[in-house]
Structure 1
Amino acid sequence: MYAPCPPISFAAALLAGVSLFASPAAAQDAPADSPQESAAVPSAAETQGRVFTPEYFAQFAPRNALDMVARIPGFTIDDGNNGQRGLGQANQNVIVNGARFSSKSDSIRDQLSRISASDVVRIEILDGTALDIPGLSGQVANVVYTSNGTSGQFVWRTGFRPHNTEAQLYGGEVSVTGKTGALGYTFSLSNPNDRFGADGPTLITDADSTVIEEQFSKFSGKYDNPKFSANLSYDFGGETVANLNASYGADFLDQRIPEIATRPDGLVRTRDFFYTEDGPEYEIGGDIEFPLGPGKLKLIGLERFERDNGVSQLVDSFSGGRDTTGFRFADTNAIGERIGRFEYGWNMWQAEWQVSGEAAFNRLNRTSELFELDDNGEFVELDFTAGNGGVTENRYEALLSVSKQLTPKLSLQFTGGGEYSKIEQTGSAANSRSFQRPKGSLSLAWKPRDDFDLSLEFRRRVGQLSFGDFLASVNLQNENQNGGNNGLQPDQSWNIELEVNKRLGEWGSAKLQLRQAWFEDFVDFFPLENGGEARGNIGDATRFHLELNTTLRGDPIGWQGARLDVKALNRWMNLTDPFTGLDRPFSYDLKRLIDVDFRYDVPGSDWAFGSGVSSQTNVAYSRRQEVGRDYEGPTFMNLFVEHKDVFGLKVSATYGNILNARNKFDRTVFDGDRPDAPVLFVETLNRRIGPIFRFSVSGNL
C-alpha cells in the first residue's frame, strides 16, 4: 500500500525547516561590498529585501531581463498561470515596474526576454505579502526598467539529433522595444519549436513472461509555433496608464511511429501510425488604470481563442494474407476564453485595500469522427455521438483584500470572497449545473533579520477543468477510449504553504518550501456504469510537497565565477483508487525531482562552461483495466560552452543526453476490471533517444 504521508509529520517538518534555516551557525551575513546587494541604489526595497543592480550580472553578459532574473541566487521563476481560473489575483513571482503581467498567452519568460538588459535599472527581491498586489506571497522579483529610445535583440536556436529526427533550424525570436514620448512598445516574432524522436524494441509478454510479440518502432516528431506579439503602453499623465497586448500565431505538430512486430508463430505485423495537429490562435487584451476617489481603478479585458485540428490514423498490415485493419480518429476543438475584470485599491487605516470582481466566459466546441478500415481498404465512419458537443462555463468572482504591515518585521494579507459558476453541456449528454464556492487566503510574512525571512499562507483554491474531459475521445496508439462525463466539476482544496528563505552570505542562498493540500472532488479516471471509464470526481485526496532551491557560489573558497544551483523536490500523495479501493498516488503527477546545474564564468575572459544533471520520477496512471507509466530517463546530463563576445554576439553550444537516457513506457493490461481480473499482457518499451546537440546565437539589433 502506498504511504500516504512523509516519514515526518507536517508540523515536525515546519519546525525542522525553520530551525535549520534560522540556525545561527548557518547564518553568515554577506559583507557590505558583496555583489549580492547594492545599497547605493535608493529604493523602497532597501527596507524590505535585496536589490540587484546591473553590475552584479555583468559577469554573465546578459542580453535581456530573463538572463538576469535567472541568475538571482536561490530564485526560480514561477509563471503561475498553470491551472489558473481566468485572470484572478496575481500568482506569478515576477512583476515589472511594480505591476503584474495581464497576458495569458505570453509567459513571464517570454516577456522578460524582450526587455533589453541595458534598460534594466535594478531587480528587487521583495516579500509578496508586503506588496499592495493581492495574491502574492513568498519571494517576488520586481524588475525595474526604463526604455529610452529603441533597442532590439534576437536569438536563433538550432539543433540536431543523429537518430530519427530532422534538424531543428528555425527556432528563436526577434524583438524590438522602445519608447517615443508617452508611448512604449514591444514587437516580437518568435517560433518556439522542437524536433524529437526515439527508436527501439517493445516486448509484449503474458502473465508468465512468455513472449506474445516482439516489436521495433521508430518515433519521430516535430513542433512549430510561429507567433507575432505586440505590447503597447501609453502614459496619459495624472497617474493614468493603459496597456494593450495582442498576439497571433499557429501551432503545427506532426508525429510518426512506424512499427514492425513479429510473433512466435511467424506472423509479421507492419504498423503505420501518425498524428497531426494544427490550427490558429490569438489573444487580445488590455488594461487601464486611473485615479478615482481615494484610490485607483484598474479595468482589464481579455479575449483568447484557439482551434486545434487533430487527426490520428493507425493501419496494421499482416503477412500470410490476413486482412489489413485500421482506424482513423479526427477531431476539431474550438477553445475560447473571454474575461472582464476590475480592481479598485485604496489606502485606509494604514493598510492597502482592494475590491475586485471578474467575469469569465470559457467555451469549447468539439466535432469528432471515428472511422474503421473495411475489407475494400476504405475508411467507413462509425457512430461516435458522445465525442461531439460543446461545453461552456460562465463564472463570476468577487473578492475583498487587505494588506497591512503589522510591525516592521511582520506583514499580513487577507483575501475573502467567493465565486458563482454555471456549466452547460450540449450534445448527446446535455446538462446544466451551477455552483457557489468560497475562496480566500491568509498570508503572514516575518522578516526577523536581513538574511532570513519566512512566509506562511493558508488558501482555499478552486481548480480549473479541462473541458475536453466532458466529451468522449479515442487514443488509437494505446487502444484506449475515454468516455464523456457531463457531471464533472472542478476540484477544490485547502492549502497551507510555508516558504523559508535564508541567505548564506558569500556562499549564496537557499529556499525551502513546504506545501500541504487537502482536495475535495479530486479529478482522476473513474468507472462508468456501462463498463467504460472517464475523467471524473473521485472524492478526497491529499498531497504534501517538499522543495529545496539552493545556490552556492565558489568565491569563498577562491573559485571566482563558479556557481552551483540545486533544485530538489519530493511529493507524498494519497487517494483511494475508485477501481480497486486501495490507496495510491495521483495519476501522472510528479513524484520526485533533482536538478543540479553548474556554471563557471572564467574570470578575465568571455568564456563560460558548465554542466547540468536532472532526474525525475512521475507517478503511473491507473485505469479500469490497466496501469502504466510513460517516462524518460533515468538521468539526463548535458555539457555546455559559451562565448559572450563573438563579433558582438553571444554563442552557446550544448551536448545533451550524455548518459544515454531513454524513452520508456511500461503498462500492464488486465483481462477485465482491476484488481481481480487476470493479466492479459505486459508491455515494455525501451527506445534509444541518443545524443542531443543544440546551438544558439543571440545579439542586439
Structure 2
Amino acid sequence: MRRISAGSSLAIAMACSPSLAAQEAALDPAPAVEAPANGAQRYTPGDFASFSPRTALDMVEKVPGFLIVTGTNGGARGLGAATENVLINGERIANKSTDARSALQRIAATQVAHVDIVDGASLNVPGLTGQVANVVLVAGAAQAGLTTTIRWQPEWRPRIADNWLAGEVSTTGRLGGTTVTLSLKNDANRQGHWGPEERFDGDDVLQFTREEFARYYGDRPRLALALARTTTSGNKWNFNLGGQLQKIHDRVSSVSVRPTNGIVRETFESIEDEHNFDIGGDYELGLGKGRLKLIGLYRFEHSPNVDTFVVDQAIGGRSGERFKQTADEDESILRGEYGWRTAGGTDWQVALEGAYNTLDVDAEFATLQPDGSFLPVIFGGETTKVEEKRGDASLTWGRALASNLTAQINLGAEYSELSSSGPGGLTRRFVRPKGKLALAWKVGPRTTINYHLQRRVDQLNFFDFASSVDVANGQGNGGNGLLVPPILNRTELEFVQDMGAWGNASVAFAYAYAQDLVDQIPLSPTTEGRGNLPGAHLYRVSSKATLLLDRLGWKGARINSDLTWRRNRVRDPLTGGWRDQSQGQEYLVDVSLRHDIPASKLAWGAGYFDERNSPNLRLDAIEHDYTKGAFVTAFVEHKNVAGFTVKLSYRNLEAMTDAFDRTVFVDRRDGPIAFSESRRRKFGQYFQLTMTGTL
C-alpha cells in the first residue's frame, strides 16, 4: 500500500506476544479473579447496563476517562513492546493487522466478566504505561456455541455515491477444544468535496479560478481466521491467517477559464489494486520456573499504483503525465520470550527477536504523446530495493517497590543491517541501545502519578529510499540511501484523578529530544527528498476526562473530552532556523456529550472535533492542508431494534470545509514567489447509520 508515513483530506499477567487469543479475540477461558489485582479499578457488566452494550468495545468505550489508543503494530519495528493500551485476558494485542477496536468489536458483551483499568507499570508487559484496560472474559464463554457479532455502517453523502458496504461480521466458537474466530471486515469509504481554487501570481494578483470536484472511493475487504487452544498440560498455541484486497480509486477534476488558454480542464486520477496476506502463530509452554513463548510471523503486500494527470486546453492542446509504481513488501519475524517470577515477587522477562524486511519498487514516469500513448522518461528512480536485517534483545524487570509504588525497567539493544539499491544506495550497520523506565505511584485512594523515561528507535518508511513523482503538483522526491531510523529520547509525567461519582480526569506533560527525524532536505543543489534532521525538541500537554452529570440532576448524561497541545520544533535544513515540524500536530479538541435517558432504550448526544497540523515545508514550496471550522455531529440511538443497537448520526452540522494553501517559489522558499494557490472545498452535511448486534 502506498504510504505517506512509516508504515485524502480530513473530510476524509505476563504475556508479551501476539497471542491469537488476543489478536482475533479468541475466547480461551481466563482464570477467575476474585478481587482487582495491581490496584486495578474494576468495572463489571452491571456498570455498563444502562448502555445496553453489544460488544466489548461498547463497554471499554464507556469507561470514564479512558480512551483506546488506536492503530496497529504495522508501523512498529517488528513485534517488540506493546503499542496499544488494551489487554485481553492479560495478553496484549500485537497482531500487525488488527487494532484494539477491531479485536474488542469481535467479542460479545455477554462474554466479558469484567474490565480492569490498571497502571501499565504494574504489569509485566513491556511497553505499557499509563492507564491500561484489561478485558477479562468469562471462563468457558466460547463453549456455549457460536457467537456472531455484526456491525454495519452505511453512509449517505451529497454528490457522492452511497456507502453501503462498510462493516464487519465475526463468528467465534469451539470445534473440539479449539477456539475458532472467523471474521470478514470491509473498511469502505465513499468521500469527496468540491469548491473553488484561486491561483495568484508572485505579486498576489488573481490569475484564474478553478472549480474543482474530488471523490475518494475505496474498498478494503479482509478475511481472517484465528485458532487458539490450551492443552490439558497448560501449554497454549495460536495460529492466524488473513488476506485482504484493497481497491482504491481517487479522482479530482477541475475547469477554469484562463486569459491565454481559454477553457482548461484538468483531471487527476489515482488507482491502486493491492492484495496482501499474513500468517503467524505462537506456542507457549512451561519451562523450569517460568514460561517460554515462541512466535513467528510472515507478511506480504503487492501494491500496483497508477497516478495520471491530464490537462486539456482550448488553446494549447492536450498534455499529461503518468507515474506508475509497483511495490512488493514482505516481513519475516521470529521471536522468543522467557519470563518468570521470583519468590520475592519480582517479574523477569528475556526476549530475543530477529526480523527481515524488504521492499522492491519498480517505477515509471511517462509523458502524454499526441497519439494518446505515454512515453517513458528516465528520471533516475526506476528500480529500488531496500533490505533490513535486524536482531533485538531485551531484559525486563518489574516489581512493587512499596505497597503503592510499582516499577518496570526494560533494557535492550538492536543490531541492524540496512541496504538499498536505489539512488545513493549503500549498506550500513548499526547498533542502538534502547529501553524504558516506568513508575506508577498510588498517591492516594483516588490519585495516581505515572512516569516514564524512554529511548525508542522508530521504523523508517522504506518508500523514502525510492524516487517518486507527484504528477498532480509537478513535484518530485529523489531517493535517499543515507536515511537512518529516528530515535526518540522521551519522558512523560501523568496525573490521574478518580473523581468518584463525578467521573475521571488525567493530564500529562511530555518532552522528547528527537534525533534524526525524517523531513524534506536538499539532496543536491537542484533536488530534494526525505532525509534526517538535526536534533529536535518535541513538547506535548494532553488531558482526557469524563464528567458524569448525575449529581447535577441530569441523570444518565456525561461529557467526554480529549485535548492535546503540541509543539515540535526542528532545525530548518534550508535556513538553519527553528520552525515547526512539517505536518506535525499543533492541537486537538475532541469533546462529546451523551445522554442515556433513564428507564428507556433511547440515547442522544453530540460531538465537537477540531484539529490543526503545521504546514508541510518543501524546499521550494509551503503547503498547508487544514480545515475551516469544527466538525460537529449529533446522534440518536435506540438500544434494541430487533436485537440490534441502532445509531443515526447527522454529521458536519457546522459545515466545516477543507482548505489547502500552497505557495511555490521561483527557486528555494527563501527567495521570490512564483505563484500561490488557495483552495476551499465543502462536503456538506451527511448521515451515518451504525447497527451493532450479536447472534
TM bucket, shorter chain? over 0.9
Partner of 2:218: 223
**Shift in alpha-carbon separation, 1:418–1:42, aligned structure 2, 3 A:** closer
SS of the equivalent of 1:45 reads: coil
Q: Distance in 2 between matches of 1:577 and 1:47?
A: 46
Residue type matched to 2:152 in 1? W
Query: Can you list the C-alpha shifts for 1:73-105, whole angstroms capped at 9, x where unaligned?
Result: 100111463642110012321000011123110
Shift of 1:368: 0.4
Q: Distance in 2 between matches of 1:47 and 1:246?
A: 34
Equivalent of 2:560 in 553, 557, 565: 565
Q: Distance in 2 between matches of 1:180 and 1:213?
A: 67
Shift of 1:274: 0.6
SS of the equivalent of 1:550 reads: strand
Shift of 1:239: 2.2
Name the TM-score, length of structure 1 as normaliser. 0.92
Equivalent of 1:130 in 122, 134, 139: 122
Equivalent of 2:637 in 626, 639, 642: 642
- Does residue 161 in structure 1 map to residue 157 in structure 2? yes
Equivalent of 2:245 in 241, 244, 250: 250
> Is the Cα–Cα contact under 8 Å of residues 368 and 374 in structure 2 kept in the other structure?
yes
Q: Distance in 2 between matches of 1:167 and 1:666?
A: 30
Residue type matched to 1:326 in 2? G
- Does residue 385 in structure 1 map to residue 380 in structure 2? yes
Partner of 1:98: 90
Query: Can you list the C-alpha shifts for 1:388-444, whole angstroms capped at 9, x where unaligned?
Result: 111011110001110010110011111112000001112454311110000111111
Tell me the number of residue pairs that the alignment of Structure 1 and Structure 2 aligns. Answer: 658
Partner of 2:184: 189
Shift of 1:318: 0.8
Q: Distance in 2 between matches of 1:545 and 1:599?
A: 28
Structure-to-structure mapping, 1:278-297, within 5 angstroms: 278-297=273-292
Equivalent of 1:152 in 148, 151, 154: 148
Q: Distance in 1 between matches of 2:688 and 2:345?
A: 54
**Shift in alpha-carbon separation, 1:346–1:46, aligned structure 2, 3 A:** closer
Range with bigger deviation, 474-483 or 141-150: 141-150
Q: Distance in 2 between matches of 1:434 and 1:656?
A: 51
Partner of 2:12: none
Query: Can you list the C-alpha shifts for 1:560-607, whole angstroms capped at 9, x where unaligned?
Result: 110100111000121111012221111111110100111111111111
Residue type matched to 2:248 in 1? L
Residue type matched to 1:158 in 2? P
> Is the Cα–Cα contact under 8 Å of residues 663 and 688 in structure 1 kept in the other structure?
yes
SS of the equivalent of 2:421 reads: strand
> Is the Cα–Cα contact under 8 Å of residues 345 and 355 in structure 1 kept in the other structure?
yes
Residue type matched to 2:178 in 1? L
Query: Can you list the C-alpha shifts for 1:287-333, whole angstroms capped at 9, x where unaligned?
Result: 1111101111011111111111110111111113x131100111011
Partner of 1:20: none
Equivalent of 2:575 in 580, 584, 588: 580
SS of the equivalent of 2:82 reads: coil
Partner of 1:8: none
Partner of 1:655: 650
Partner of 2:664: 669
Residue type matched to 1:78 in 2? V
Partner of 2:364: 369
Shift of 1:43: 3.6
Q: Distance in 2 between matches of 1:629 and 1:43?
A: 54
Partner of 1:3: none
Residue type matched to 1:55 in 2? G
Equivalent of 2:504 in 505, 509, 525: 509
Partner of 2:693: 699
> Is the Cα–Cα contact under 8 Å of residues 423 and 481 in structure 2 kept in the other structure?
no
Q: Distance in 2 between matches of 1:631 and 1:362?
A: 34
Q: Distance in 2 between matches of 1:567 and 1:400?
A: 34
SS of the equivalent of 1:604 reads: coil
Partner of 2:677: 683
Q: Distance in 2 between matches of 1:440 and 1:574?
A: 24
Shift of 1:47: 5.5
> Is the Cα–Cα contact under 8 Å of residues 507 and 543 in structure 2 kept in the other structure?
yes
SS of the equivalent of 2:463 reads: helix
Equivalent of 2:108 in 98, 112, 116: 116
State percent identity of aligned pairs. 36
Name the TM-score, length of structure 2 as normaliser. 0.93
Residue type matched to 2:55 in 1? N
Query: Can you list the C-alpha shifts for 1:315-366, whole angstroms capped at 9, x where unaligned?
Result: 111113x131100111011111111111100123431011101111111111
> Is the Cα–Cα contact under 8 Å of residues 629 and 654 in structure 2 kept in the other structure?
no
SS of the equivalent of 1:386 reads: coil
Equivalent of 1:532 in 527, 535, 543: 527
Q: Distance in 1 between matches of 2:305 and 2:678?
A: 27
Q: Distance in 2 between matches of 1:571 and 1:696?
A: 33
Residue type matched to 2:57 in 1? L
Equivalent of 1:490 in 485, 488, 496: 485
Shift of 1:633: 3.5
Partner of 2:322: 328
Q: Distance in 2 between matches of 1:130 and 1:635?
A: 39
Shift of 1:46: 5.0
Q: Which runs of 5+ in 1 are unaligned?
A: 1-40
SS of the equivalent of 1:572 reads: strand
Residue type matched to 2:339 in 1? G
Q: Which runs of 5+ in 2 are unaligned?
A: 1-31
Shift of 1:246: 1.5
Structure-to-structure mapping, 1:159-558, within 5 angstroms: 159-163=155-159, 165-265=160-260, 267-320=262-315, 322-348=316-342, 349-427=344-422, 429-558=424-553
